[in-house]
Homo-oligomer: A and B are copies of this chain.
Amino acid sequence: MSENRVLVPFKENGHAHQRCMESALTVAEQTCRARGVRLTNIRRRVLELVWRSHEPVKAYDILARLQDEHSGSAPPTVYRALDFLQTEGMVHKIESLNAYVGCGDPNHMHIGQFLICRDCGAVAEMDDDDVRILLAEKAGNLGFQIDREVIEIKGLCAVCATEKR
């Protein structure tokens, strides 16, 4: 079994989220600079708000916070920033929740596989080649060529499973 890459883990004991978030922001800044694209104030702020927790964040929740800070914010403000961040691989949309999560690895372009806890709402991101390979093979049996996968798995994370006992 080759890969079990975990890009964004579930919150473990002693998870220092402040640091986790700062690191994501730093990587984002470096990546944008390297690519010659602009992480403007709005985009940066939206990325921060997405990273406030490991739960998926809704566009209109982001908007509400932006409006607290700057009344000129409107839906397009948020959706444009989210579009940019998704294009640059810094944010993923969770389609089944209409919500957005920060990506742990913007440098390596990919679309991950998400594990979503039904209890705490946290999301972990995997990027597993075995899964990708198997799906490509199964789809290939039907003559189907894969462009892009949406894989969103609902269930119970280890922390919540423990607490249930």
A-to-B contact residues, CB < 8 Å: 4, 6, 9-10, 95-96, 113, 115, 117-118, 124, 126, 128, 130-131, 134-135, 138-139, 141-158, 161
Contacts and interface: CB of A to CB of B under 8 A. Distances in A.
Contacts of A9: 142
A153 B146 contact: yes
Contact of A147 (B118, B146, B149): B118
Contacts of A147: 118, 154-156
Given A96-B95, A151-B150, A138 B128 contact: yes
A152 B111 CA distance: 12
A159 to B, nearest CB: 8
A96 B144 CA distance: 18
Contact of A138 (B117, B126, B148, B150): B126
A130 B95 CA distance: 24
A130 B138 contact: yes
Contacts of A142: 6, 9-10, 115, 124, 126, 157-158
Contact of A149 (B10, B124, B154, B156): B154
Given A95-B150, A152-B150, A158 B144 contact: yes
8 contacts: A95-B95, A117-B144, A128-B138, A130-B134, A142-B157, A143-B161, A146-B153, A150-B150
Contacts of A134: 130-131, 134
